[in-house]
A and B are shown apart, each in its own frame.
Chain A
Amino acid sequence: MIGQVSRRQFLRTAGAGVAGTTLGAMGFGGAEQAMAQAVRPYKLARTTETRNICTYCSVACGVIMYSLGDRSKNTHSALIHVEGDPDHPTNRGTLCPKGAALLDFVHSQTRLKHPMHRKPGSDKFERVSWDFALDRIARLMKDERDANFQTTNKDGVTVNRWTSVGFLAASATTNETGAMTYKVIRSMGLLPFDNQARV
Chain B
Amino acid sequence: MTNAWGDIKHTDLVVVMGGNAAEAHPCGFKWVTEAKANRGAKLIVVDPRFTRTASVADFYCPIRPGTDIAFLGGVINYLLSNDKIQHDYVKAFTNASYLVKPEFGWSEGLFTGYNEEKRDYDKSSWDYQLDEQGYAKVDDTLQDPRCVFQLMKQHFAVYTPEMVEKICGSPKDKFLKVAQMISECSTPTKTMTSMYALGWTQHSKGAQNIRGMAMIQLLLGNIGVRGGGMNALRGHSNIQGLTDLGLLSNMLPGYMNLPVEKEVDFNAYMSTRGFKPLRPGQTSFWQNYKKFFVSFQKSMWGDKATAENNWAFDWLPKLDVTYDILRTFELMNQGKITGYFCQGFNPLMTFPNRGKITSGLSKLKFLVTMDPLDTETSRFWENHGEFNDVNSADIQTEVFQLPTSCFAEDEGSIVNSGRWLQWHNAAVSPPGEAKSDVWIMAGLHLRIKELYLKEGGAFPDPIVNLRWPYAIPEEPAAEELARENNGQALADVTDPTDPTKVLVQKGKLLDSFAQMKDDGSTAGFCWIYAGSYTEAGNQMARRDTWDPGDTGLAPKWAWAWPANRRILYNRASSDKNGKPWDPSRKLVYWTGERWGGYDVPDYGPTVKPEQSVGPFIMNPEGVARLFTRGMMRDGPFPSHYEPFEAPVANAIAPKIKGNPAARIFKADLEALGSADKFPYVATSYRLTEHFHQWTKHVWVNAALQPEFFVEISEELAKEKGIVKGGWVRVWSNRGSIKAKAVVTKRIRPLMVDGKPTHVVGIPQHWGFMGRAKKGHNPNSLTPFVGDANIETPEYKAFLVNIEPTSGPATS
The residue in chain A whose Cβ has the minimal distance to the Cβ of B457 is A146
User: Any chain B CB within 8 A of the CB of A95?
Assistant: yes
Question: Number of contacts between A and B (CB, 8 Å)?
Answer: 495
User: Any chain A CB within 8 A of the CB of B526?
Assistant: yes
The interface residues of chain A lying within 8 Å CB-to-CB of B393 are: 121, 123
User: Any chain A CB within 8 A of the CB of B189?
Assistant: no
Chain A interface mostly: mixed
Question: Beyond A112-B373, A175-B482, is A117–B400 a contact (Cβ under 8 Å)?
Answer: yes
Complex CA distance for A181 and B698, rounded to whole angstroms: 28
- Report yes or no: B325 in contact with A110, Cβ–Cβ below 8 A: no
User: Any chain A CB within 8 A of the CB of B392?
Assistant: yes
- Report yes or no: B247 in contact with A60, Cβ–Cβ below 8 A: no
The interface residues of chain B lying within 8 Å CB-to-CB of A65 are: 408, 427-428
The interface residues of chain A lying within 8 Å CB-to-CB of B544 are: 2-4
Complex CA distance for A109 and B319, rounded to whole angstroms: 42
- Report yes or no: A98 in contact with B689, Cβ–Cβ below 8 A: yes
User: Any chain B CB within 8 A of the CB of A46?
Assistant: no
Complex CA distance for A4 and B695, rounded to whole angstroms: 36
The interface residues of chain A lying within 8 Å CB-to-CB of B264 are: 157-158
Complex CA distance for A25 and B680, rounded to whole angstroms: 73
The interface residues of chain B lying within 8 Å CB-to-CB of A174 are: 238, 241, 410-414, 424, 478
The interface residues of chain A lying within 8 Å CB-to-CB of B420 are: 60
The residue in chain B whose Cβ has the minimal distance to the Cβ of A47 is B427
| Range, interface on chain A | 35 or more
Contact with B along A106-120 (1 / 0, CB 8 A): 101111111111111
- Report yes or no: A141 in contact with B444, Cβ–Cβ below 8 A: yes
Complex CA distance for A123 and B392, rounded to whole angstroms: 5
Which residues of chain A in 136-186 are interfacial with respect to chain B, using CB atoms and an 8 Å cutoff? 136-142, 144-146, 149, 151, 153, 157-184, 186
Question: Beyond A160-B316, A166-B323, A169-B247, is A130–B691 a contact (Cβ under 8 Å)?
Answer: no
Q: How far is the CB of B208 from chain A (nearest CB, A)?
A: 15
Question: Beyond A2-B542, A60-B417, is A178–B476 a contact (Cβ under 8 Å)?
Answer: no
The interface residues of chain B lying within 8 Å CB-to-CB of A161 are: 317-320
Instruction: Choose, from A16-24, A37-45, A83-91, the stretch at the interface.
Output: A83-91
- Report yes or no: A167 in contact with B343, Cβ–Cβ below 8 A: yes
Which residues of chain B in 310-344 are interfacial with respect to chain A, using CB atoms and an 8 Å cutoff? 314-320, 323-325, 327-328, 331-332, 336-344
- Report yes or no: B412 in contact with A57, Cβ–Cβ below 8 A: no
- Report yes or no: A113 in contact with B425, Cβ–Cβ below 8 A: no
User: Any chain A CB within 8 A of the CB of B87?
Assistant: no
Complex CA distance for A137 and B369, rounded to whole angstroms: 11
The residue in chain A whose Cβ has the minimal distance to the Cβ of B468 is A183
Question: Beyond A59-B417, A78-B428, A89-B545, is A187–B462 a contact (Cβ under 8 Å)?
Answer: yes
Q: How far is the CB of B541 from chain A (nearest CB, A)?
A: 8
Instruction: Choose, from B42-50, B434-442, B728-736, the stretch at the interface.
Output: B434-442
Cross-chain contact of B317 among A108, A113, A162 (Cβ < 8 A): A162
- Report yes or no: A105 in contact with B695, Cβ–Cβ below 8 A: yes
User: Any chain B CB within 8 A of the CB of A28?
Assistant: no
User: Any chain B CB within 8 A of the CB of A52?
Assistant: yes
The interface residues of chain B lying within 8 Å CB-to-CB of A165 are: 337-341
- Report yes or no: A160 in contact with B429, Cβ–Cβ below 8 A: no
- Report yes or no: B448 in contact with A138, Cβ–Cβ below 8 A: yes
Which residues of chain B in 755-811 are interfacial with respect to chain A, using CB atoms and an 8 Å cutoff? 769-771, 787, 790-793
Complex CA distance for A68 and B314, rounded to whole angstroms: 51
Q: How far is the CB of A116 from chain B (nearest CB, A)?
A: 4
User: Any chain A CB within 8 A of the CB of B185?
Assistant: no
The interface residues of chain B lying within 8 Å CB-to-CB of A98 are: 688-691, 695, 698, 701
User: Any chain A CB within 8 A of the CB of B81?
Assistant: no
User: Any chain A CB within 8 A of the CB of B233?
Assistant: yes
Cross-chain contact of A171 among B238, B421, B436 (Cβ < 8 A): B238
Cross-chain contact of A89 among B241, B325, B437, B554 (Cβ < 8 A): B554
- Report yes or no: A57 in contact with B343, Cβ–Cβ below 8 A: no
Contact with B along A69-82 (1 / 0, CB 8 A): 00100001111001
The interface residues of chain A lying within 8 Å CB-to-CB of B253 are: 179, 182
Cross-chain contact of B545 among A87, A123, A168, A172 (Cβ < 8 A): A87
- Report yes or no: A151 in contact with B325, Cβ–Cβ below 8 A: no
User: Any chain B CB within 8 A of the CB of A101?
Assistant: yes
The interface residues of chain A lying within 8 Å CB-to-CB of B398 are: 117-120, 140
- Report yes or no: A138 in contact with B451, Cβ–Cβ below 8 A: yes
- Report yes or no: B27 in contact with A91, Cβ–Cβ below 8 A: yes
Q: How far is the CB of B55 from chain A (nearest CB, A)?
A: 16
The residue in chain B whose Cβ has the minimal distance to the Cβ of A92 is B30
- Report yes or no: A59 in contact with B28, Cβ–Cβ below 8 A: yes
Complex CA distance for A116 and B367, rounded to whole angstroms: 12
The interface residues of chain B lying within 8 Å CB-to-CB of A130 are: 433, 435, 443
The residue in chain A whose Cβ has the minimal distance to the Cβ of B433 is A114
The residue in chain A whose Cβ has the minimal distance to the Cβ of B686 is A57
User: Any chain A CB within 8 A of the CB of B529?
Assistant: yes
- Report yes or no: B427 in contact with A99, Cβ–Cβ below 8 A: no
What are 6 A-B pairs at a CB distance below 8 A?
Answer: A65-B428, A175-B482, A176-B485, A177-B441, A197-B247, A199-B792
* Residue ranges of A at the interface with B (Cβ–Cβ < 8 Å): 1-4, 48, 50-62, 65-67, 71, 76-79, 82, 84, 87, 89-92, 94-102, 104-106, 108-123, 125, 130, 133-142, 144-146, 149, 151, 153, 157-184, 186-199
**Known contacts A58-B236, A65-B408, A137-B444; can you find 10 more A-B pairs with CB under 8 A?**
A50-B425, A57-B691, A79-B428, A90-B6, A97-B26, A149-B458, A166-B341, A170-B437, A174-B414, A194-B247
Ranked nearest first, the 4 interchain pairs of A and B with the lowest CB-CB distance are: A170-B344, A113-B432, A174-B412, A112-B403
